[in-house]
Structure 1
Amino acid sequence: MDEKNGKVERTLGIYTRLMNGYIVNKAEEANRYGVNERSIQRDIDDIRNYLELDAESHGFINSVIYDRGRQGYRLEQIYKMRLTNSEVLAICKILLDSRALTKNEMTDVLQRLIDCCVPQSNQKLIEQLIKNEEFHYIEPRHHTVFLDTLWDIGTAIQESRYIEIKYQGVLGTTVKTRKLKPLAIIFSEYYFYLTAFIEDEKVRENFDVINDAFPTIYRVDRIKQLKITNERYRIPYKDRFEEGEFRKRIQFMYGGKLQKIKFEYSGPDIDAILDRLPTAKIIDKLDGNYIVCAEVFGKGIDMWLRSQGEKVKLL
């Protein structure tokens, strides 16, 4: 009994020191409690096991790791493993508004998200808050299940492998075969897109604007067949494609040359304009109207400008 009590006292003592930010040295702890270092190691292993079980039930992770520089064990930074109820609700609403998936896929994703990330006591509440919108959800007209293709493309990008695709363009056009260097996956206005460089020089000749700075764009749901080859490509780090910067400058995923535009905005909410065009800057204000400049790719900006009617005047 004394040995058992000593074990409990020792383990709790080490646990307390770790929680308080101290470095636990096995030799020092063995000397403190009058035991050998193997006993201290078993105590540390017990604490690790407890923390793993605690993470599963409470959504917090604490890890006991060995710090070679400080020659002892310490508690790794605490972080939340689960999303909050409000975060899950926001993600569910964003997913529903995206209309990116078939209805069955959307229902499955939402349910798994709620099951994994929301405590059981609050799951019904989240389900009720999205129930009506989920019931009236309208899936995209292509009705295509493509999530596995999306993952395969991501794998090819990560491993820098060429892909070969059979692609159905605008409805009614013939299926085209392309060999591509896949660069990034981007979501925009209901659809997922692949950006890629075309490898075939003969195909490249038929494009008005195509060089290493301007990738071509493909809707993932229109990829009818995908093959990941064993052939790898290399793009120097300085020439890497930065999808975040590309995404700031493209509207409706219409590719093309990089250009600068300037326009006058007379509408009621300049913030909506600046949010729509992440590269936009206000350069002047005249008679209550804003003069805005922005850097954009391609012709998609023309569609957006026309959608604003008289509120926007291109300068």
Structure 2
Amino acid sequence: MNAAYRQLYIFQQLLSDHLVEKRPLAARFNVDPRAIQRDLSQLKTFISDQQLPYQLVYSRQRGGYQFVSAQDQVSKQVVLVLVKVLLASRALNQDELHDAVTGLLKLVTVSERAEVQPIIKNEVFHYQPLRHQQPLLKRIWAISQYISRQQPIAIDYRNARNQTQTREILPQALIFSEYYFYVVAYSLKYHANRFFRLDRIFGYRLSTQKIHRSRAERVSDGQLRQYIQYMQPGKLRTIRFEFSGVVEAALDRFPTARIITAASRPGTVLIEADVFDSGAMMWLLSQGQRVKVVGPADFVAQMKASLTATLAQYD
């Protein structure tokens, strides 16, 4: 076998994350170890000339040559976390999940991939996507481009009652919350910001309408996340409630939350938070006896009315 074949074989071994040792290779091809050294030198030159994302290095500890990434590489720990979060979100259909997980695993070496795959194998096998089964990746990218360019679009939208509508909007943010992606957009019809679930947008295109929002009027997705729950806008206000559950759970739920003081009831704390009230109420109601809202007065009244209506269903 000639030198070209040897070099291709060595290159393939290195790409497969194998350790390359001179003497075993020399014995395999029945050549002097110096011939293998020349092959390795030529491979180094080839890698440099082609600007490949590898470096051929000698590992004294392992006693051989191996490829090391010449660019910043995502660690196996990061890939594992990203895959776990992706699986928990249930946001992608089966095909897109497979492509996303495969792509993430390719960011690490073959040996690291072999470590990660057994950890995620069971979850991937039992993955259950959301019922809408819509492909989202291309849609997410396209809407994100409209947002970056501040371009108005017309969308064909199917609402929760399965009614189809066409809306002229200026998309301003794309947010993931509670299993779904939402487009936060200024609606020309309502002259206000509205939330549109991405999987319910079945058509979109550039609009001929001119919609402009000043910098001060635009939505900041980073700030919006601080105040909103379950993508329910409501009214932005400061609420106070006594809480007897795991305090960390309340503080994590409301990023703006702060402990004011120990409350009047034993075993409770008084928490204050700046929130959109509709979504906040949904979470507070889910906490049952662990929560008592104490202000403001009209918000307390809304909580009482909701609880009374709920109890009435059991009469």
Equivalent residue number for residue 144 of structure 1? 134
Preserved CA contact (<8 Å) 1:149 1:226: no
1:284-299 paired onto structure 2 within 5 Å: 284-286=261-263, 287-299=266-278
Task: Give the Cα separation in 2 of the matches to 1:232 and 1:156.
Answer: 14
Preserved CA contact (<8 Å) 1:186 1:195: yes
Aligned amino acid, residue 83 of structure 2? C
Task: Give the Cα separation in 1 of the matches to 2:51 and 2:208.
Answer: 39
Aligned amino acid, residue 272 of structure 1? A
Preserved CA contact (<8 Å) 1:265 1:289: yes
Structure 2 residue runs without a partner (length 5+)? 1-44, 56-66, 295-315
Task: Give the Cα separation in 2 of the matches to 1:162 and 1:54.
Answer: 40
Task: Give the Cα separation in 1 of the matches to 2:132 and 2:96.
Answer: 14
Residue 158 (1) aligns with residue 148 (2): yes
TM-score (norm 2): 0.70
Structure 1 residue runs without a partner (length 5+)? 1-45, 62-80, 205-209
Cα deviation, residue 232, structure 1? 5.8
1:163-202 paired onto structure 2 within 5 Å: 163-170=153-160, 172-200=161-189
1:166 is paired with a residue whose SS is: strand
Preserved CA contact (<8 Å) 1:167 1:178: yes
1:1-315 paired onto structure 2 within 5 Å: 49=48, 52-53=51-52, 58-61=68-71, 81-115=72-106, 117-170=107-160, 172-200=161-189, 204=190, 211=192, 215-229=193-207, 233-267=211-245, 269-286=246-263, 287-315=266-294
Q: How many residues align?
A: 236
1:241 is paired with a residue whose SS is: coil
Moved more, 240-249 or 182-191: 240-249
> RMSD of the alignment, in Å?
2.2
What do residues 72-103 of structure 1 show as CA deviations (whole Å, max 9, x unaligned)?
xxxxxxxxx21111111111111100111012
Preserved CA contact (<8 Å) 2:168 2:209: no
What do residues 184-217 of structure 1 show as CA deviations (whole Å, max 9, x unaligned)?
00000111000000113xxx2xxxxx64xxx210
Task: Give the Cα separation in 2 of the matches to 1:260 and 1:50.
Answer: 62
Task: Give the Cα separation in 2 of the matches to 1:229 and 1:55.
Answer: 46
2:216 is paired with a residue whose SS is: helix
What do residues 239-296 of structure 1 show as CA deviations (whole Å, max 9, x unaligned)?
33211111111111112221221100101x2112111110111111133311001111
2:233 is paired with a residue whose SS is: coil
1:291 is paired with a residue whose SS is: strand
What do residues 19-63 of structure 1 show as CA deviations (whole Å, max 9, x unaligned)?
xxxxxxxxxxxxxxxxxxxxxxxxxxx9x95794355753344xx
Aligned amino acid, residue 291 of structure 2? V
Aligned amino acid, residue 88 of structure 2? D
TM-score (norm 1): 0.70
Moved more, 161-170 or 233-242: 233-242
Task: Give the Cα separation in 1 of the matches to 2:210 and 2:69.
Answer: 40
Preserved CA contact (<8 Å) 2:241 2:272: yes
Equivalent residue number for residue 12 of structure 2? none
Aligned amino acid, residue 58 of structure 1? V
Task: Give the Cα separation in 2 of the matches to 1:279 and 1:174.
Answer: 36
